[in-house]
Chains A and B, each alone.
Chain A
Amino acid sequence: MLPGLFDILGNIFISAGLLFIVFGVIGIYRFKDFYARILISSKVDTIGFITIMFGVILKAGFSMFSLKVILILIISIIINPIVSNAVVRSAYYSDYRIERKNSG
């Protein structure tokens, strides 16, 4: 395999992750109420994080650097859902409800 292949693949993955993050931010501004907003953006942001870190690992090759990036990746995969859950739980339990005009 030619050495440049991993570089190009890494760049492709990093830009794909960047695209996911742009979608995540669009998701923040597109939805009107809070619950839909956090439902979309926290998921898409985590996916973007995973894709970018995969691209970084591809570019860094097999070294101590990519082992550290894998550690950060695993920790972040665990952390992001917990944080989103904590935020939504605090919103729900302090009875922050969205007034739906049409449905009940």
Chain B
Amino acid sequence: MNDLILFAMILVSLFTAARVVFGPSIWDRLLGYNLFSSKITMMIIIIALFSDKSYLLDVAFTYALLGFVGIIFVAGFIQKKGKI
């Protein structure tokens, strides 16, 4: 059950990464990156559940926050057309 879920999640995040690569506009890439990082967070939590390591949850929490901060600044950077 565990490997099935993780395999499906990896497959789905591959498609999201493909959207990052082929996205026609910059914002499609940002959308793909946002979904990709939330899928990574889910995978970390599922791995933490099945391998019963509770410290992995802190990794997922930090990753979600860092992804959030990163995307907010990249979106603002693109909106200002490069001027910080």
Contacts and interface: CB of A to CB of B under 8 A. Distances in A.
Interface of A: 11, 14-15, 18, 21-22, 24-25, 28-29, 34, 37-38, 41-42, 45-46, 48-49, 52-53, 56, 59-60, 64-65, 68-69, 71-72, 75-76, 79-80, 82-84, 86-91, 93-94, 96
A28 B75 contact: no
6 contacts: A14-B46, A18-B12, A25-B16, A42-B34, A45-B38, A91-B27
B12 A25 contact: yes
A21 B61 contact: no
Contacts of A46: 38
Contacts of A14: 5, 46
A91 B25 contact: yes
A4 B76 CA distance: 48
Nearest to A52: B42
Interface residues of B, number: 40
Given A28-B32, A65-B54, A68-B54, 10 more contacts: A15-B5, A18-B8, A18-B9, A22-B8, A34-B25, A41-B35, A49-B41, A72-B41, A87-B30, A89-B79
